[in-house]
Structure 1
């Protein structure tokens, strides 16, 4: 399980923004708690790591039901691809579910369904990626294999930083978003506090 907490916008760290009186990262950690043995939280630098450790200690203390590792990007400012490869290095399992820190509505149903999808299809596919009817995909709500680390290194060495470039190189099982989460709320992201206020009204 890989949960990235590296998104920022408008000068504010998204994972720290409050949703239902808790930082968004706490909402996500609580959702995955009963569905993962390990979680790797990939952050930008030591400063952000210390902030997140304080947040987790305040809201969760010793209550987490999984092994949590908090690590920093191996290379700064290289986008989500470097976050994925950093996280994969610390995950013991063959696959990792990548989740963004700005989607606090990620549901247990989504997590269960996407894990079930890779279990049922892993003989033929090494990646599960949610897809909308429009053709748009959700690369940061997807499962990636350990073996994709070498592909990521190759992409980065060629100046490619987008996750879609990685997906093109993998044997992907594209699954409709509504099959993973009928409400589709797991894919809702928030960019600033005003977005949250508007949603909760």
Structure 2
């Protein structure tokens, strides 16, 4: 078990999906339950980031609320890094349907000497499937105080180990591993791609 913290970011409004993405069912279980179960096998501490803790009161994991309201995922990064007991934390958005434990462990093995470990594909960077060190907090706070909430704009100011697409491909199709869903159409498209991948 990794002496790190695993965190599910479940604070989004899900406005484009029309319902809470954390409770979309995949393979018979809500996404958040599947993701929490995997994180529990990997990390010594697991947290949920959400400003609606009442939705997750049936889960054993502690729910952490933002200190900076209206700041999106950035607020969740900040609050959970402050709350976590460990130096490194792995953050994953609740709308990422596939968590590969081997990939997460590989990324954890790359953390030494870096403040962040971030996947990077032809679609761009994936800051909500990444590791962050507590040393990121001062810079995150600088951004929050001026109302700058775009996470990827933080990376030029930190030491980052990018995990490139060819590395990700060792663990499966990067399009599936890094997929997150925001609309019913994206959710349907993901499920179709997943089934096609299973048949290969």
How far apart are the structure 2 equivalents of 1:40 and 1:169? 26
Of 119, 131, 141, 1:153 maps to 141
Compute the displacement of 1:183 (Å): 2.4
Of 155, 158, 163, 1:167 maps to 155
Pairing of 1:7-156 with structure 2 (within 5 A): 7=12, 8-10=14-16, 11-44=18-51, 48-54=52-58, 56=59, 68-118=61-111, 122-123=112-113, 125-132=114-121, 134=122, 136-156=124-144
Compute the displacement of 1:162 (Å): 0.7
Contact 2:71 2:147 in 1 (8 A): no
Contact 1:2 1:91 in 2 (8 A): no
Deviations 1:124-177 (A, max 9, x none): x22111111x37111111111101111111111222111012212101111114
Aligned position for 2:10: 5
Pairwise CA RMSD of aligned residues? 1.9
Indicate the SS of the match to 1:50: helix
The TM-score with structure 1 as length reference comes to 0.82
User: Structure 1 residues 106, 193: closer, same or farther in 2, change over 3 A?
Assistant: same
How many residue pairs were aligned? Answer: 182
How far apart are the structure 1 equivalents of 2:7 and 2:30? 18
Contact 1:103 1:190 in 2 (8 A): yes
Compute the displacement of 1:80 (Å): 1.2
User: Structure 1 residues 100, 150: closer, same or farther in 2, change over 3 A?
Assistant: same
Unaligned runs of 5+ in 1: 58-67
How far apart are the structure 1 equivalents of 2:167 and 2:133? 21
Q: Which runs of 4+ in 1 moved over 4 A?
A: none
1:183 aligns with 2:173: yes
Indicate the SS of the match to 1:114: helix
How far apart are the structure 2 equivalents of 1:150 and 1:104? 31
| Highest RCO, 1 vs 2 (Cα 8 Å, sep ≥ 6) | 1
Contact 1:97 1:141 in 2 (8 A): yes
